[in-house]
Amino acid sequence: FRSKLGDACTSNEACGKSLICANGQCAATHSVGQGGACSADRFCQAGLVCHTGVQQCMPKVAVGGSCADGATCVDSATCDFVAGKCVAKHAKSEACDSSDSCAAGLTCVPSTTAGASSCLPTVKLGGACSHSAQCAALDTACIGGACTLLPGAGKPCSKQGSTMGAYCAPGLWCTDAGQCNPLPKLGDACKGACGSGLKCDLASGTCKALPGKGEPCDNGKCAKGLSCLDRKSTRLNSSHITISYA
C-alpha cells in the first residue's frame, strides 16, 4: 500500500506513483519552490534544480558563479572543479577534456596526432568526419572520412576499420572468418571480447562472469553496479560515489 497525495510520509517509496515525499507529506513532483528541501531535480519547480551540496531547490548558476559545493551550472556553462566556478562551454575547435565541456551540438574529439582533443560538430550518417567520436549514431563510425553504418550480425566485417578500431556494429565482433557475429555469451569460446558483464578468461579461452561483490577485481573491472575499491568489488551507493568499470 502506498500513500496518496497529502498523506504523511517518511520516504519517497511510501508515496504513490509520480509522487514525492516533501516536508513529511506526499506531494506532486516539481512542486518544491526555491530553498525547499530536495534529493533530486524532480522535486523542484520549473526553472529550479536540486542543489546537491545543500539539498535545496535552487536556480542554475550563471558563468562566474560558484559550483564548488555541487551547484548546477546553466546549460551554456560547465563547472571548472579546479577553480570551483561555472565557465562557458568551449566553442568549435577549442581544446576540451570531455564532451560535457563543449557547447551544444559539439563533441570532444580526440586528436588523430599527439595534439589535444577539440570540440567539433557531431555528424549524421554520411557526413564528413575525422574521428568516430563525431558520429552521432551508435551504430556508425568514421570510415574513409565519413560517418558510415557499421555491418550488422551475419554481415561481412568492414574491410576498413574506423578511427576507434570498430569493424562491426556495437555488440558484435569480427570473427577470423571476417563475419560480424554477436559477442560470445557466458561459457562460449572467446579470443578477447565477450558480451556485457563478462570477461574473456585467457586460461580457459571462455567467457566468464565479471567479479561479484567482495571478489577480487579483474583489472579494475567488476560486475554491473559494482566498483573496484581496494582491489575488491564493492556495491555503489549514494554515500560512496566512485567510477564503475562494468
Query: pLDDT tens digits for 120-178?
Result: 999 999 999 888 889 988 888 888 889 989 889 999 888 765 555 567 888 888 887 88
Q: What is the pLDDT of residues 83-101, one digit of tens each?
A: 999 999 999 999 998 888 9
Is the CB of residue 109 less than 8 Å from the CB of residue 130? Answer: yes
Degrees to nearest 5, angle at CA 67 with 94 and 106: 25
Q: Could you report the per-residue pLDDT of 194-217, keeping only the tens digit for each?
A: 888 898 888 899 999 998 888 888
Average pLDDT, the chain: 83
Distances 223 to 79, 171, 227, 228, 230 between C-alpha atoms, Å: 30, 17, 8, 10, 16
- Taking the model in full, what pTM does it have? 0.60
